[in-house]
Chain A
Amino acid sequence: MKLPGSWKGVNFSIRFAKNIERKMLSEAFRCLRSFGDLNSYRYVGFGSTFFSDFKLFHRNLGITEMISIEAADEEDKKRFSFNRPYRCIKVKFGLSRYVLPTLSWNRKTILWLDYDYALDLDVLADVKCFCANAGSGSIMVVTVDARGHDPDGPDDPEKRLSWLKQRLGEKIPAWIRNRDLAGWGTAEVCRSIIEDEVQRTLNARNREDPQIQYLQLFNFEYQDTAKMLTTGGLLYDEQQEELLEKCGIKSLPFIRTGKEPYRIEVPNLTLNEIRHLDKKLPKNVVKKLLDCPISVDDMKKYSELHRYFPAFVEAEL
């Protein structure tokens, strides 16, 4: 049994890009109000011991039904339960592919499958379970490691494809070659495999149900330590097409409905620089600040991200 283990090594809440991504997702979820009171939504995620996403979505969106799935052994179970920040969070122990099918799916759901390992058939089983059961107006987000090689081994460009094939078998399109997996290539291949799985499941489901459509909304790429991909989108039905247009989600700057990613690139700035830039924003900073010692590139990046930018300071509590 594989236990997601990165919570032991990294404190999730100080990873910059992840932090920014979380806030962007929250902003996107807020648009779901048009589909129904956010109170009526349920959030399902992998809270780990930090529950950063749970805290944010509870505070920002007011969601009160929350389920955290944890594959933990007996010893760790107590720690996960102990760290629940709110009463409304239920922790369900087990692998997500066994827990998800036991949930009742009559509620609109925001599901964030935030894995810290690479895409594999288990992940796709979860994607399938969501698409087979979730109602329209529900959102799924999937995060996977997009390095394209065994995290414990060296990255041999010639072996990327065979490594991926071990994990995904026939799901990998036949035309993919090693060179397609270079750089961010693995992320794009994984995104398309996830999208295919969603589509395949919906095709089967739509033979009898009302026609449920999928609109991809997220295609984030970022790198705090490892290259990561976050993709996902909304399930909606015909009657909701108008809502979808009106709710404004599509006009958010980080929404990506196709293969073109939104890459979260975090400029390395001091608090002083941030404060300085903030005063000029949200106007076009580049023109006005040519005299400032920050590179134009960093300024551009910051101006895009500034509303979501975290500030970390050491504090004695």
Chain B
Amino acid sequence: MGANLVARRMRLVSAKTATEQRTIEATPRKDFFISMLVRDIDVNAAIIDLIDNSVDGAIRCRKEKNFNGLWIRIEVVKDKFVIEDNCGGISFALARHYAFNFGRSPEARALGHSVGQFGVGMKRALFKLGTKFKIESAAANSRFTVEVNVHEWSKNNDDWTFRFNDDLETHTVIPADKRGTKITVTPLNPVVAEYFEDAEKINQLVREIGERHQISIERGIRITFNGILVEAQVAKLLFSEQLKPAYVMRVRPRRKKHSVVTYQIWVGLGRDEREDPQRAGWYVFCNGRMILRADQSRSTGWGEDDEIKLTIPKYHNQFKMFRGYVMFDSQDGSVLPWNTTKTGLDKESWIYPPVKLQMLTLMRPVIDFLNRVDKEENQPEIGEAGPLHKIIANADLLPLSEVKGSRRFVAPTISPPPSKMGVITYREPTETIDRVKKVLKVQKNREVGEKTFEYYLKQEVE
């Protein structure tokens, strides 16, 4: 062997080692992957994510979006969580190529108006809830079972597959009423088991399901939690001839750079029995699923300094009647502004910033009106009997679908008359007042004053 050849070989070898030296290991570890995924989601969001899967089934099998006759049942007993539906099931192909993949391939994106988007929801939810799960599904032409022991699965870092059980059927015919999916998780993670023992948390969960899936429930799907029927918390706004919410509907983009998104915005006033300030704010929906609830933060335009310029505290109780609803809809859900847990906005998406500008423009007149209402409230001689309060009291609370919105929020511009009212005060023994109260059938001293004055006015003056 000539010296030249040896030298050349040596160079080749060292070049190879150099390439190897320049390689950095970055393969994800399963246990890291799982722990990272579940940290970002809370139990409610995880369960609602599993409901998303069932709703997507409903969307697949009922293209016309009438969900009558479909149901989703959630049962939690001790250490076991079960969610079962009759929403058409997951087909063998869908399971094999999409449902169990982490992440969505580009060609899977356009799953008509679906709620599942990121290829992470169902798996993450199951990892969150427990350490073993079983998925049984029957679709039109297939039936399968997948069982996963998360501990076992996470041990082998080289194998990123799941296996169908032996009862797999791929060429069969299953009648429509037998199609559906059942997911069982047991044992549950200790924190999750504890969670389900807390009655208050379950109430909150049921309520949240009713809010976040209000549109699917309205379309006819029945969701039950341990036998309790989840009621839709339907979005409603005050409406009358004098008080009209703003409504805008747009289709975007105008240029064909992105998939088409339709969005609708309603802004106006709401009312609930408890006058709960926690209900005020913006509600955002993507493909029928509520992702943001009663938001009072900067991301929807409220602010400590800029945007709408509400003084700190950024949200004040005088705005407790404020309600704004934004509904995005697209065949291609990947363009909608949701985050992966569907509990917030992706503020950097192309569609959200321009929509937010419109939200700002539409909400400011409502804030102005509520400020005037507040001013009226703070005038003792007018108080809640003022003209603006009367207008609010006389308006009807209507579901969004029945609200005939106008392009801008319509409200009377009357300001409370500042100095035309006088105040009368006088003192009487409590005993006497109480006797008059009985006759007048009223509760408050103030009412005694008003009623007796009215009586005198009518009898002696007019």
Residues of A within 8 A of B (CB): 74, 93-95, 97-98, 101-102, 104, 121-122, 124-125, 128-129, 132-133, 169-171, 201, 203-210
Contact = CB atoms under 8 A, between A and B. Distances in A.
Nearest to A203: B353
Given A102-B408, A201-B357, A208-B253, A74 B308 contact: no
A271 B234 CA distance: 74
B358 A209 contact: no
A131 B360 CA distance: 12
B255 A210 contact: yes
Nearest to B363: A101
Contact of B306 (A93, A102, A171, A205): A171
A132 B357 contact: yes
Interface string B356-378: 11101110110110000000000
Contact of B351 (A104, A201, A203, A208): A208
Given A170-B306, A209-B354, A98 B255 contact: no
B252 interface: yes
B407 A94 contact: no
B307 A207 contact: no
Contacts of B365: 98, 101-102
A132 B308 contact: no
Contacts of A203: 353
Interface string B22-38: 00000000000000000
Contacts of A201: 357
B361 A129 contact: yes
A209 B254 contact: yes
A104 B407 contact: yes
B429 interface: no
Contact of B254 (A124, A171, A210): A210
A98 B368 contact: yes
Q: Is the interface of B mostly helix, strand, loop or mixed?
A: loop
Given A98-B365, A125-B309, A207 B353 contact: yes
Which label, helix, strand, loop or mixed, suits the secondary structure of the A interface? Answer: helix
| The 7 residue pairs across chains A and B that have the minimum distance between CB atoms | A204-B353, A132-B357, A98-B368, A169-B305, A101-B364, A207-B350, A208-B354
30 contacts: A74-B418, A93-B413, A94-B413, A95-B368, A98-B365, A101-B360, A101-B364, A102-B408, A104-B407, A104-B408, A121-B305, A124-B306, A125-B306, A125-B307, A125-B364, A128-B357, A128-B360, A129-B361, A132-B358, A132-B361, A133-B361, A169-B306, A203-B353, A204-B353, A205-B354, A205-B357, A207-B353, A208-B252, A208-B254, A208-B350
A201 B305 CA distance: 16
Contact of A170 (B305, B308, B364, B367): B305
A24 B307 CA distance: 32
Contacts of A104: 407-408
Given A132-B361, A204-B354, A125 B308 contact: yes
B306 A101 contact: no
Nearest to B261: A208
Nearest to A169: B305
A98 B309 contact: no
Nearest to B361: A101
Interface in B363-407: 364-365, 367-368, 407
A221 to B, nearest CB: 26
Contacts of A124: 306
Nearest to A124: B306
A278 to B, nearest CB: 48
A125 B308 CA distance: 7
Contacts of B358: 132
Contacts of B408: 101-102, 104
Contacts of A93: 413
A204 B360 CA distance: 12
Contacts of B415: 74
A149 B362 CA distance: 34
Contacts of B350: 207-208
Given A121-B309, A204-B354, 8 more contacts: A97-B309, A98-B365, A101-B408, A125-B309, A133-B361, A205-B353, A205-B354, A207-B351
A216 B55 CA distance: 51
A98 B364 contact: yes
Identify which of B306, B365, B413 gathers the most chain A CB atoms within 10 Å of its CB.
B306
Contacts of B356: 204
Contacts of B364: 97-98, 101, 125, 129
A132 B364 CA distance: 13
Interface in B229-270: 252-255
Contacts of B418: 74
A169 B307 CA distance: 12
A262 B309 CA distance: 32
Contacts of B407: 104
Contacts of A128: 307, 357, 360
Contacts of A95: 368
